[in-house]
Structure 1
Amino acid sequence: MSNQETTTHQLAIKEVFDSLSQQEKLYAHHLSRAAWQGSRIILRQVSPEANGIFDFLMSMYQACDGQWKDLIERCEIGAEELHAFLEYAALFLCNLGNYYGEGDQKFVPGVSEETLRKIANISPSTSQALEKVIGPMISELPHSIGFPSDTEQSSYYPGDEIISREEIAAVSEIMGKQLIEPENTRLRKIIENGQTIFELLQASSEKDKTAEPEYIMNSPEAVLRVVKGDHAEELAAICSSLSETIKYAADEKQATMLSYYIKSFQTGSLEAYRESQKIWVTDTDPVVESIFGFVEQYRDPFGVRSEWEGIVSIADAGETEKLKQCSERSTEFISRLPWAVEGQNSGKGPFEKSLFEAPAFTSSHALAFCCCFIYEAANLPNYNDIRETCGFKNLVYANRMSANNNPATPCYYVDPSEVHRFKECTHIVRFVSTAIHELLGHGTGKLMSETSPGTYNFDNSNPPINPLTNRPIESWYLPGQTFYSVFGKIATSAEECRANLVAYYLMDEKDLLSIFGYTDSSYVTADDLIYNTYLQIGVEGLQALEFYNIQTQAWGEAHKRGHFALLKWLLIDGGGVMSVDYDRDNKNLTVRVDRSKVLTHGKPSLGRFLCRLHIWRCVADAKSCADLYEPLTTVDGAYEEWRQVVCSKPTPRWKFVQANTVLEGQEVVVKVYEENNEGIIRSWAERGI
């Protein structure tokens, strides 16, 4: 699709950064350099042409010295053509690739091939850079990220030989037996002297070919070869910056954490990365926070390989205090969830950890956000064994969340009489529900596991009672299995949906809302938020339809699939608490919520859905989950008609312009850029990636 016009927001940081001490500024600066140095890793993970397009855009900036308006006369193009080109360039840089970070759909320049060539003719180097990528750059196909085919592509599976799902699964089986974790890998199929070889490309700055093991595969007959050195150049630069960062660490704990990062990125060892995460979760109140590594599996169609992330943020003490209050009362709120059993495990029941230590919960301001899109919050690490034994952290990014409070954002699916109040409430609902989503959504649940042969994390002689069957549980995770390996392609979406359900289920708990300052007497009352939570479920469920590909019948974004599942569930199971009016003549959809049924029908319905997803996750029952979730997230019949309406009114996409930190002598200063396409491009050019 051609890139659509998007709004640019400033990710404001200067005032917060200026409040840091000199040591903290230096620590943040070198961490930020390490974050941005991972940009080309993400580009390489997105598409084969992404790094080449990046090079072309940077060469264009250098060739015109950032004086873009000069191109109108020099290249004989119109002002509208220049604007469309700059829109594409900025959109590409904000998504770190030519596929949307949210939705995984390809976007192409909104100008002709002829115009692109005119623009590139500004210099021989820019013309050469364009010629390397112009074919895939302007082609509508592959139209999305998915299993490699004629219409979809995934750079987690690069190369000329197309790899099948069955082959990926066979390789994963061998990896599991050999205890090779997939997060920092890509998989390439090659034919060598008539033999099929699967090269497991492992991210590391080291390239020790003498230590590359091979494994014989029987189905299919092939060899699996581990090849170190994927992203070697970028990881070497990252390690160099992290080594410099250590000099300014606040304490030995931070220094040790960074040392494990370096070891992991140098050697490819995920065991070293796990050690870094064990330390990271215990560093509970850092002024400068960071997330590094191969973290989320959202974009791998097989659901196990992770995209690189590098995020640096600065704590907001005032907002963090509210979140800490919520965290400190975690056990109380968990005991109100549908699977809780009075008198068991402090009222939480057997499907929760015995000890829920209040995790760190920080409101921070993002300084460097090197990802395919800038998300609102995080709950990490994703390793369940570390979460259960060492804990986890929650982060909310305040300068990203503030973009939600935008009165100009169109509100297509709410009745005009409710739009004003909905807009007053929506950013509050988003903030509070996101906080609960991260803390009590992703933070809840005990995965029943045989941790090693014959050793269980529950009483296997007297198993807990499954509330869905009223019988002892009959399944659990076997040694080496994880939630993602067992649940496969639905894992990420089902987990995001479950976390959302926890948040929405608890949004009518007024003592919880009061922590955030919303009561029966506040300007926006607790009842306002409760009612508008259900409106939000409906609106987000409809908006999600834009991310469903009707040709492949696949969802392009895990969170959006979960939003639609929630809407469809309430329409089917909610007893009339929610409905959608469809005006065929005017192509309008309007969400209706029956206020009188929110507590009597809405909450019990959410509880039924939540309990199913939670228990199935805890007992490794992927089949039952898929049997419900797959049909529930199918878009057909009336829902397909609704999808067409939604696609005719696309949700405005946002771009964010981020600051850079630079050293001026011994001082670190923040460089802020203009809030437009030119500012985004300039900020990237000056990062020197």
Structure 2
Amino acid sequence: MSVDISLYTLPNNQPIVALECDTAFKALTQKEKLYAHYLSQAAWNGGLIVLVQTSPESPLIFALLHKIYLAESVDELRAAATRANISEDEFTAFLVYSCGVFSNAGNYKAMGDTKIIPLLPKNAFETIMKASKAYKDNPTEIKNLWDNISNALYSLDGKLKSLGLGDKGITTYFSANCTKEDADRVNAFMEYKGLESYNARCFKTTVHNPENNSNIDVYEIRLASLETSDDPKITSSEETYKDAKFKITRGDYSKLMVPVVENLQKAKEYASNQTEKDMLDKYIDHFRTGSLDDHRNGSRLWIKDKGPAIETYIGFIETYRDPAGQRGEFEGFVAMVNREMSEKFATLVNRAEEFIPLLPWNKDFEKDVFLRPDFTSLDVLTFAGSGIPSGINIPNYDEIRQSEGFKNVSLGNVIPAHMKDIHSIAFLSESDQALMNSYRIPSFEVQVGLHELLGHGTGKLFKQIDSDSYNFDRDKVKNPLTKGSINKFFLKGETYDSKFGTMGSSYEECRAEAVGLYLSLNREVLSIFAHREQQADNIIYVNWLSLLWSGFAKALEMYQPATKTWLQAHAQARYVLLRVCLEAGEDFVKIVEIEKEKDKDLIMQVDRDKIFTVGKRAIGDFLLKLQVYKSMGDIELAKAMYDRYSEVSDNGEYPWLRWRDIVLSRKEPRKIFVQSNTFVDDSNNVILKNYESSFTGLIQSWVERFPSADTSQTLIELWNKDKHYFTTNN
């Protein structure tokens, strides 16, 4: 079967957009700017960990490109490439690929997890490399890097097309010899030990026992930390559990942790209060020792730091890319509060208890006490990781979110940057396109607010506390779907992540998106955002239209037919909601296939007059099921329902696979963001440097972010240390 290369390359017209933060940064005091600077340095240096987490070859690809651009400017490299008979298109493709690797923190897309390969021939890539000053100065070193990555750089063989486990894709969260069964074994062991895996990876070896002439699997669960020695409070010696051996070690990414800790210590000097200082102390201890409890306790302090001028969070956070759904990708962000929009979100928080009872479940399924969070709109200065979201609800630790609190942030300068220069919108009528262009940003602000606060922030998990005690009344609470007793719940030691596994992220995003749709119908909610009368009607319509359109026109890009897997949690969630609305019938949502002269087109239509009737009923009923199954930890019923709506096939009323081909033929490249850098001058003043929205500007930002060759050397050392885990079956 031939491979559609366009799915795995970035086009030469790849859009590059600057993430504007000038106004917010200039409003900071000198002390706040220094605090932001050192936090940013910690985040950026920690963000290099994502290269190691993405694919075996990503650290070396970054190292090669870093060395090339460190040795000379893009213009000088272009001149050398031209002399070597490289065309302008080939050189542009080289720059685009470089931008893709830098911005995605590796050679797999942050949105979709599909591989990125260069859009120029392999021999042209090699020619540019050999024409570079880096190669001329150190030919042996550069050639060695090339020899180690040249095949992987271009290969789309089998599972290499996307991230995953076993035959589903590539991962470095587990060694190459691990399967889903191995992941299940490790997850069971961690649950048995009462531990979570956010800052862990797993490496399997198989050893022979001569006493009984049998093999036994040994799993090393390695924690991320600066310190590498054993510590009985954190690590553990080898122990047997269910016919396998397990040991917990630490020291993963150790050298990359050094600048993280150093910069957090410097940031502490400029913290605005004792809570922030104590919080940073806990983060420092976490990155130094590998103790996840320290990060939990730092997160507890973080949620108590209300309304700071500089908001930040750092660590191993989101589990989207772990194929077992439990190990966190490193991310760190630093942002300035947007006071005007934050006031609207604060009002939403203050009135949240008015809106929570409007959700389709009763108070038994809601948290005993609404944990009033901080909810701010932020202008991002720094976001280090594989991608930049539009909103965040953290921390992700179950016990903190359920009983202590959380924070919501909307990344206000990300939303307009994503939607900049969009005029023509595929698969919509001209009138719907006009409405989307007018109201998409303000409607998305409403959706993000509801999604983060009243989506992720609501709903109770039924838990066993001890052998005969629970956090709910087993005699009185009834299942609203069956009218019977609650017969399932989270056993002691079980968490949402451990129970829902790989499905958990998408399922929870779907629940939060559904809450946003459902509550966006409330005019009191819209009035908080200053939307009234006809404008409010348009915001409601565009919010529903936009999300359902995304579930069609964007989500299908993220489905992998060969493995029948979804490559992005939010995409799957929105597709599921689209399927729910289509199933509601009554011509509420329609997708119409149109014959054209040379090909076919599709138009999606939403009947705005039926949103308050058919739409609200369909989403409300589905949302109730999502919540009941989540509260009870009923993974069996949740999975059966979610898998049914997630199916992409041509069997049935809608030819989804054929429509996916049409969607792919019209797809637009996702924007890449250029982020600013900060520097401290000789007078201890912080300078903000912006870069032009171009391939050259983005590359320059990364070279100036990491001006030392030591960065590349550290990544090469990490690759050498673990390469045997990803190239052999141990």
Name the TM tier (shorter chain): over 0.9
In the alignment, which of 500, 514, 522 is matched to residue 509 of structure 1?
A: 522
Give the TM-score normalised by structure 1.
0.95
- Could you say which residue in structure 1 is the equivalent of 2:406? 392
Q: How does 1:351-500 map to 2 (within 5 A)?
A: 351-460=365-474, 462-500=475-513
Contact 1:199 1:225 in 2 (8 A): yes
Contact 2:166 2:180 in 1 (8 A): no
One-letter code of the match for 1:2? T
Q: How far has the Cα of 1:574 moved from its partner?
A: 4.4
- Could you say which residue in structure 1 is the equivalent of 2:224? 203
- Could you say which residue in structure 2 is the equivalent of 1:97? 106
Contact 1:64 1:70 in 2 (8 A): no
One-letter code of the match for 2:555? A
- Could you say which residue in structure 1 is the equivalent of 2:687? 669
CA distance in 1, matches of 2:574, 2:236: 43
Matched, 1:147 2:165: yes
Contact 2:371 2:403 in 1 (8 A): no
- Could you say which residue in structure 2 is the equivalent of 1:319? 341
CA distance in 2, matches of 1:256, 1:218: 38
Q: How does 1:509-588 map to 2 (within 5 A)?
A: 509-520=522-533, 525-542=535-552, 543-583=554-594, 585=596, 586-588=599-601
Contact 1:148 1:157 in 2 (8 A): no
One-letter code of the match for 1:291? Y
Query: 1:386 is paired with a residue of what secondary structure?
Result: helix
- Could you say which residue in structure 2 is the equivalent of 1:184? 199
Matched, 1:44 2:21: no
- Could you say which residue in structure 2 is the equivalent of 1:605? 618
- Structure 1 pair 611/255, CA: closer, same or farther in 2 (3 Å)? same
Query: 1:9 is paired with a residue of what secondary structure?
Result: strand
- Could you say which residue in structure 1 is the equivalent of 2:41? 33
In the alignment, which of 259, 263, 267 is matched to residue 245 of structure 1?
A: 267
Q: How far has the Cα of 1:130 moved from its partner?
A: 2.4
Range moving further from structure 2, 643-652 or 281-290? 643-652
CA distance in 1, matches of 2:569, 2:289: 31
One-letter code of the match for 1:137? L
Q: How does 1:640-679 map to 2 (within 5 A)?
A: 640-665=657-682, 666-679=684-697
Query: 1:105 is paired with a residue of what secondary structure?
Result: coil
Contact 2:38 2:264 in 1 (8 A): yes
One-letter code of the match for 1:132? N
One-letter code of the match for 1:207? T
Query: 2:115 is paired with a residue of what secondary structure?
Result: coil
Q: How far has the Cα of 1:642 moved from its partner?
A: 1.2
Report Cα offsets for 1:375-421 as digits up to 9, x if no partner: 10100111121123221100011110112443435411111232112
CA distance in 2, matches of 1:377, 1:433: 10
One-letter code of the match for 2:225? S
Contact 1:541 1:560 in 2 (8 A): yes
One-letter code of the match for 2:621? R
CA distance in 2, matches of 1:556, 1:432: 26
CA distance in 2, matches of 1:388, 1:601: 32
CA distance in 1, matches of 2:109, 2:121: 20
One-letter code of the match for 2:34? L
Aligned length: 673
Range moving further from structure 2, 221-230 or 442-451? 221-230
Where do 5+ consecutive residues of structure 1 fail to align? 341-348
- Could you say which residue in structure 2 is the equivalent of 1:271? 293
Matched, 1:135 2:151: yes
Range moving further from structure 2, 405-414 or 496-505? 405-414
Report Cα offsets for 1:564-594 as digits up to 9, x if no partner: 0001111112432111101255321111112
Q: How far has the Cα of 1:659 moved from its partner?
A: 0.6
CA distance in 2, matches of 1:217, 1:578: 55
Matched, 1:58 2:66: yes
One-letter code of the match for 1:386? I
Range moving further from structure 2, 619-628 or 60-69? 60-69
One-letter code of the match for 1:449? K
Contact 2:440 2:546 in 1 (8 A): yes
Matched, 1:310 2:332: yes
Query: 2:648 is paired with a residue of what secondary structure?
Result: coil
- Could you say which residue in structure 1 is the equivalent of 2:79? 70
Q: How does 1:206-245 map to 2 (within 5 A)?
A: 206-209=227-230, 211=232, 212-217=235-240, 219=242, 221-245=243-267
Report Cα offsets for 1:223-254 as digits up to 9, x if no partner: 11212100111112201111111111101100
Matched, 1:627 2:640: yes
Contact 1:575 1:602 in 2 (8 A): no
CA distance in 1, matches of 2:595, 2:624: 36
In the alignment, which of 670, 680, 683 is matched to residue 698 of structure 2?
A: 680
- Structure 1 pair 377/225, CA: closer, same or farther in 2 (3 Å)? same
- Could you say which residue in structure 2 is the equivalent of 1:285? 307
Contact 1:574 1:605 in 2 (8 A): no
Report Cα offsets for 1:99-130 as digits up to 9, x if no partner: 00010000100111111111111222444432
- Structure 1 pair 390/208, CA: closer, same or farther in 2 (3 Å)? same
Contact 1:294 1:309 in 2 (8 A): yes
CA distance in 2, matches of 1:472, 1:605: 25
CA distance in 1, matches of 2:421, 2:692: 21
Query: 1:614 is paired with a residue of what secondary structure?
Result: helix
Contact 1:518 1:526 in 2 (8 A): yes
Percent identical pairs in the alignment equals 33
Q: How does 1:160-171 map to 2 (within 5 A)?
A: 162-171=177-186
Matched, 1:111 2:133: no
CA distance in 2, matches of 1:452, 1:272: 25
One-letter code of the match for 1:321? E
Contact 2:593 2:602 in 1 (8 A): yes
CA distance in 2, matches of 1:172, 1:612: 27
- Could you say which residue in structure 1 is the equivalent of 2:720? none
Contact 2:590 2:606 in 1 (8 A): yes
